[in-house]
């Protein structure tokens, strides 16, 4: 019997399988496939968008985060402030890195489809880093971990998920797809 390697399988189909796992009696044993709610910081998104527009060598290649969003393994949240923050960041980075702003915005629109935005206000001068305040406030409101590389988040008692955990989730998602029953 041929071996299937999870590293060669994209977990994108996992999100399509989830409704089947919940409704088809024979597949209910797979209904408990993990989903993790994360608050996504602008620095993570900018890293992904820059990679997708400037460094990606293969047209279909995806970042860990985007694959996990498409698989439904990560349910992404962000403060509404992120929309304004990204508008500033995209314009700045397009000029700085000599990348098409349209290309960056196009990839940003793909990511936005998977993010639930919650209004918790904007920057707050009462915080160590006022621009990070919306992420901390959102964490306090919904209880999700924050996916960020910003040290200020931790310094303000924000609870951050590491990149290693996100990488492990990608491996998990791919293994779940390999182990799931075949579908057509």
pLDDT at 57: 77
Query: pLDDT tens, 136-163?
Result: 999 999 999 999 999 999 999 999 998 8
Q: How far apart are CA 7 and CA 160, in angstroms?
A: 26
Phi-psi group of 98: left, alpha or beta (phi > 0 → left; psi -120 to 50 → alpha; rest → beta): left
pLDDT at 168: 81
pLDDT at 103: 95
Copy the structure tokens of residue 156: 């303000």
SS3 content of the chain, % helix, strand, coil (to 5): 60, 10, 30
CB atoms within 10 A of CB 14: 25
Fold of domain 35-177: Rossmann fold (3.40.50)
pLDDT at 13: 47
- The low-confidence residues of the chain, meaning pLDDT below 70, are 1-34, 176-184
Q: pTM of the predicted model, to two decimals?
A: 0.79
């Amino acid at each position: 019997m041929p071996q299937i390697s999870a590293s060669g399988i994209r977990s994108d189909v996992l999100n399509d399988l989830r409704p089947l796992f919940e409704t088809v009696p024979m597949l209910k044993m797979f209904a408990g496939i993990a989903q993790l709610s994360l608050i996504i910081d602008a620095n993570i998104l900018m890293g992904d968008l820059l990679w997708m527009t400037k460094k990606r060598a293969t047209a279909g290649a995806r970042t860990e985060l985007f694959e996990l969003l498409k698989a439904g393994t990560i349910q992404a949240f962000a403060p509404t402030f992120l929309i304004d923050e990204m508008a500033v960041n995209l314009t700045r980075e397009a000029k700085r890195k000599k990348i098409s702003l349209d290309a960056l915005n196009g990839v940003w629109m793909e990511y936005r489809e998977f993010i639930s935005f919650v209004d918790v206000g904007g920057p707050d001068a009462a915080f160590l880093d006022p621009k990070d305040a919306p992420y901390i406030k959102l964490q306090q409101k919904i209880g999700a971990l924050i996916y960020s590389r910003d040290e200020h988040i931790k310094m303000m008692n924000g609870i951050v998920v590491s990149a290693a955990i996100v990488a492990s989730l990608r491996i998990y998602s791919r293994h779940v797809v390999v182990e799931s029953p075949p579908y057509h």
